[in-house]
Structure 1
Amino acid sequence: MSPVCRLRERRLAPLLKGVRTDASRSPPLIRLHWPVKWVVPVMPKAFKVGALTARPHVRGGVPSGRWQVDVPDNLTLSGKRKRVMFPSAREAEQGARAILLEVQLNGGYGRLPQQDCITPSLAEVAEHWVRDQQVRVDAGKKRKSSLVTNLYQLAPILKAMGHLPIDELSRRRLDAYQAERAGVGRKPETINCEIALLAQVQAWAVEQDIIKKVVTTDRLPIEPKEPLVLTPAEAVALLTHIPEHLRPFVRLLMETGCRFGEAANLRWRQVDLDAGEARIERRSDWGPKSRYSIRTLLLSPALCVALSERKVSPDAFVFEGRKAGRPIDDIRCAMRAATRAAGITRRGQLANVRPKDLRACFATWQASSGVRERIVQSLLGHAPGTKVTKRHYEHPTKPEERAASAALWDQLGPMQ
């Protein structure tokens, strides 16, 4: 090769650096014919995908073989234009469409700069969570009483940790909160409910893309409590010592197993004394616990006679409280006095019989009588197949335990 040709080849080398030599791909093979004046590679043309432009990437005046998608500043969250690289034109087109979808969903492409991301405090997140729950209450997806309970549970949490950024919650802080609450005499059940509510607020924050994960800790151990189940004889004695104006109400709890709120909010238009029925249903001012709680209570003839003497207008409450036009709200003092007068004790101490215990008594009495579990669930207003009925309401009675033990003793026989 002559010196002139070598000189021309050295000058042409930078221009041919990005030229492909495979004729099956683009850009096509460039054939050289000597003498060569200038050789310019054939470059693909840029194309538009919506507001984005995809073009071949060029470095030092030479195509690199890759493609770039230019994202203008008005489509990025940071306010600065971005350049996204792709290995081929086809992938550049697909990537541009994905970028446009992200802009449509998030209002921009990319992430905000770190200095612009201010994590809200736990109190601020809790405020927005409460507003969201209020919307659920208005839509009928959550009971108002449940939201009121949540507000009471949130109060000590926000007092202790409300000033902290929500992403600074840690297991150690939650453990310290549990120790602090236990130190002021709060029961483990109460503390566990508060921690569970805090996890619920954090889960909502994760859904809103405020934080990345939920921080929680172990539940405090709870000592098992001996269930309080009255015998039918004890129930009769208790009912005898209940004040006369409260006796039909307590009798209704005993023989139907309904919840306290269901009985207290019962109106006369829901009661049919001729048929011996009372309908638990949703109203504009009150609603049952769940859709399975909507059911018909069966009333005994004795209870119907006692209620017929109290019947007034259809819109009035069947069991009015001390204030006119308001339902009965608390009978714990009367229950405690009747328990003392009836002499109901457990382990040598006066039993603490609460209205909710009568619901468990009803479920246990029905199960002991051989009533099928599905029937008991229907009478209690539980979902079919739920484990709540057996776990929390049906309890073994002392006579049943003694009978089971006595049967085994008979099989074992006397001591040799």
Structure 2
Amino acid sequence: MSLFKRGETWWVRFTAPNGRRIRQSARTTDKRLAQEYEDTLKARLWREIQLGEKPRRTWQEAVVQWLREKQHKADIRQDRSKLRWLDSHLANHYLDEIDRETVFEIGETKRLESSPTTANRYLALIRSILRIARDEWEWLDHIPRVKLYPEPRRRVRWLTHQQAARLLTELPTHLADLATFTLATGLRQRNASFLRWEQVDLRRGMAWVHADESKSGKAIVVPLNDDALEVLRRRHGEHPDYVFTYNGAPVARTTTKAWYKALDRAGISDFRWHDLRHTWASWHVQAGTSLQELQELGGWSCQEMVLRYAHLGGEHLKRASRRIEGTNLAQDARQDHLRLIASR
């Protein structure tokens, strides 16, 4: 019998025209629907094998292929988390069934659940997978246009030196050390959390992030100032492999209850762990570090990413403005005005 049950769910089992044995779930407890599913599947396989039609691919097949090809991505963990959420919306879809309305509904669900910015991250992932399915895998001929939501321009959130010092005193030791190191080096959370001693040279005062661990895909050299070196010397010997640990394991999670309680006690609001990196960059620009130097220090792939900090500097513009000092424009204009009045 080609239809059979596993628990309450019906499954189909038959041999395709090319001899391939098919055995898969019909994803229904209704026998009539399971029979329709089997008939449709048999007809589709016949057309693919006998007429050479392009096989229909599922969203789940695309996800598996995507993860296989993108496992080198620095943020692949975030992709996996997003794909788990998307699974409840797209798991039963063929790729050619994902149309603009389907994508719009997913975007609206996530927007209402969180924010337009977060929804855009999910929509961008759907768009990337559909594009590669069309352009590289040739699984699709057409894909829907995925429109992103307008995002509010978020100002750069950073702390003053006094606020940072207050926060560090409120954090538990393992988070305080990691936060201090981040404020001294600007490293992204994951790069700092999983920093190994083999990536540190205390004698030379240097550390480095390997290319496969960097968001930009390029190796990053990390000069260690005295603040960073002090933290490393204090941590030296705590763990044979990792620099920053808690209970014998890397400090993988930083935005914990301890983090939020410390923020509250320090009187700091609207502040994420990643804003420590913004703080580091802001301090650099205010101290006179050029944007080109900042780009290299921070491991950004393009200067556009550091332009958000440009307004915090301005010393070079102040010097430029002084080049026409001495023209006394305001005083000359006032004297001309007084002469005009006297002549009347």
Please point out which of 260, 266, 272 is paired with 2:201.
Answer: 272
Following TM superposition, by how much is the alpha carbon of 1:395 offset from its aligned partner in structure 2, in angstroms? 6.5
SS in 1 for 2:126: helix
Q: Which residue of 2 aligns with 1:353?
A: 271
Following TM superposition, by how much is the alpha carbon of 1:230 offset from its aligned partner in structure 2, in angstroms? 0.8
Are 1:121 and 1:162, in contact at CA under 8 Å, matched by a contact in 2?
Answer: no
Please point out which of 287, 294, 298 is paired with 1:380.
Answer: 298
Following TM superposition, by how much is the alpha carbon of 1:370 offset from its aligned partner in structure 2, in angstroms? 1.9
Give the Cα–Cα distance (whole angstroms) in 2 for the partners of residues 308 and 113 of structure 1: 66
SS in 1 for 2:133: helix
Give the Cα–Cα distance (whole angstroms) in 2 for the partners of residues 248 and 155 of structure 1: 33
> Residues 378 and 204 (structure 1 numbering): CA distance in 2 closer, same or farther, change over 3 Å?
same
The farther-off stretch of 147-156 and 244-253 is: 147-156
Which amino acid letter does the alignment assign opposite residue 306 of structure 2? T
Alignment of 1:12-27 (within 5 A): none
SS in 1 for 2:208: strand
> Residues 381 and 293 (structure 1 numbering): CA distance in 2 closer, same or farther, change over 3 Å?
farther
Q: Which residue of 2 aligns with 1:221?
A: 150
Give the Cα–Cα distance (whole angstroms) in 1 for the partners of residues 188 and 75 of structure 2: 15
Are 2:66 and 2:129, in contact at CA under 8 Å, matched by a contact in 1?
Answer: no
Give the Cα–Cα distance (whole angstroms) in 2 for the partners of residues 211 and 203 of structure 1: 9
SS in 1 for 2:222: strand
Please point out which of 280, 283, 287 is paired with 1:365.
Answer: 283
Q: Which residue of 2 aligns with 1:288?
A: 214
Are 2:286 and 2:313, in contact at CA under 8 Å, matched by a contact in 1?
Answer: no
Q: Which residue of 2 aligns with 1:253?
A: 182
Give the Cα–Cα distance (whole angstroms) in 2 for the partners of residues 247 and 159 of structure 1: 38
Q: Which residue of 2 aligns with 1:45?
A: none
Following TM superposition, by how much is the alpha carbon of 1:277 offset from its aligned partner in structure 2, in angstroms? 2.5
Which amino acid letter does the alignment assign opposite residue 366 of structure 1? H
> Residues 287 and 114 (structure 1 numbering): CA distance in 2 closer, same or farther, change over 3 Å?
same
SS in 2 for 1:120: coil
SS in 2 for 1:387: helix
Q: Could you tell me which runs of 5 or more consecutive residues in structure 2 were left unpaired when the two chains were aligned.
A: 1-46, 319-328, 331-344
1:231 aligns with 2:148: no
Following TM superposition, by how much is the alpha carbon of 1:319 offset from its aligned partner in structure 2, in angstroms? 1.0
Are 2:195 and 2:244, in contact at CA under 8 Å, matched by a contact in 1?
Answer: yes
Following TM superposition, by how much is the alpha carbon of 1:191 offset from its aligned partner in structure 2, in angstroms? 1.9
Q: Which residue of 2 aligns with 1:390?
A: 307
Following TM superposition, by how much is the alpha carbon of 1:361 offset from its aligned partner in structure 2, in angstroms? 0.9
Which amino acid letter does the alignment assign opposite residue 199 of structure 1? R
Following TM superposition, by how much is the alpha carbon of 1:303 offset from its aligned partner in structure 2, in angstroms? 4.2
SS in 2 for 1:382: coil
Alignment of 1:183-222 (within 5 A): 183=112, 185-206=113-134, 207-222=136-151
Following TM superposition, by how much is the alpha carbon of 1:198 offset from its aligned partner in structure 2, in angstroms? 1.6
SS in 2 for 1:292: coil
Please give the per-residue CA displacement for 1:284-317, whole angstroms capped at 9, x wherever unaligned: xx723234342123231x5434432431288421
> Residues 319 and 113 (structure 1 numbering): CA distance in 2 closer, same or farther, change over 3 Å?
closer
Q: Which residue of 2 aligns with 1:335?
A: 259
SS in 2 for 1:329: coil
Which amino acid letter does the alignment assign opposite residue 250 of structure 2? P
Please give the per-residue CA displacement for 1:88-127, whole angstroms capped at 9, x wherever unaligned: xxxxxxxxxxxxxxxxxxxxxxx9799663652533xx42
Following TM superposition, by how much is the alpha carbon of 1:380 offset from its aligned partner in structure 2, in angstroms? 0.5
Following TM superposition, by how much is the alpha carbon of 1:128 offset from its aligned partner in structure 2, in angstroms? 4.3
Are 2:291 and 2:303, in contact at CA under 8 Å, matched by a contact in 1?
Answer: no
Give the Cα–Cα distance (whole angstroms) in 2 for the partners of residues 127 and 120 of structure 1: 10
Following TM superposition, by how much is the alpha carbon of 1:177 offset from its aligned partner in structure 2, in angstroms? 2.7
Following TM superposition, by how much is the alpha carbon of 1:192 offset from its aligned partner in structure 2, in angstroms? 1.6
Please give the per-residue CA displacement for 1:254-273, whole angstroms capped at 9, x wherever unaligned: 11111111111122233233
Which protein shows a greater Rg? Answer: 1
Give the Cα–Cα distance (whole angstroms) in 2 for the partners of residues 204 and 343 of structure 1: 46
SS in 2 for 1:355: coil
Are 1:134 and 1:147, in contact at CA under 8 Å, matched by a contact in 2?
Answer: no
Are 1:239 and 1:250, in contact at CA under 8 Å, matched by a contact in 2?
Answer: yes
Higher RCO (CA 8 Å, separation ≥ 6 residues) = 2
Calculate the TM-score normalised by the size of structure 2. Answer: 0.67
Q: Which residue of 2 aligns with 1:311?
A: 236
Q: Which residue of 1 aligns with 2:321?
A: none
**Same amino acid, percent of matched pairs:** 24
Which amino acid letter does the alignment assign opposite residue 223 of structure 1? P
Which amino acid letter does the alignment assign opposite residue 188 of structure 1? P
Give the Cα–Cα distance (whole angstroms) in 1 for the partners of residues 236 and 103 of structure 2: 53
Are 1:122 and 1:163, in contact at CA under 8 Å, matched by a contact in 2?
Answer: yes
Q: Which residue of 1 aligns with 2:64?
A: 130
Please give the per-residue CA displacement for 1:225-278, whole angstroms capped at 9, x wherever unaligned: 343211122112222222334332211111111111111112223323333332
Alignment of 1:67-78 (within 5 A): none
Q: Which residue of 1 aligns with 2:225?
A: 299
Give the Cα–Cα distance (whole angstroms) in 2 for the partners of residues 318 and 221 of structure 1: 40
Q: Could you tell me which runs of 5 or more consecutive residues in structure 1 were left unpaired when the two chains were aligned.
A: 1-110, 345-350, 404-410
Following TM superposition, by how much is the alpha carbon of 1:211 offset from its aligned partner in structure 2, in angstroms? 1.7
> Residues 169 and 233 (structure 1 numbering): CA distance in 2 closer, same or farther, change over 3 Å?
same
> Residues 195 and 244 (structure 1 numbering): CA distance in 2 closer, same or farther, change over 3 Å?
closer
Give the Cα–Cα distance (whole angstroms) in 2 for the partners of residues 352 and 218 of structure 1: 28
Calculate the TM-score normalised by the size of structure 1. Answer: 0.57
Number of aligned pairs? 271
Following TM superposition, by how much is the alpha carbon of 1:218 offset from its aligned partner in structure 2, in angstroms? 1.8
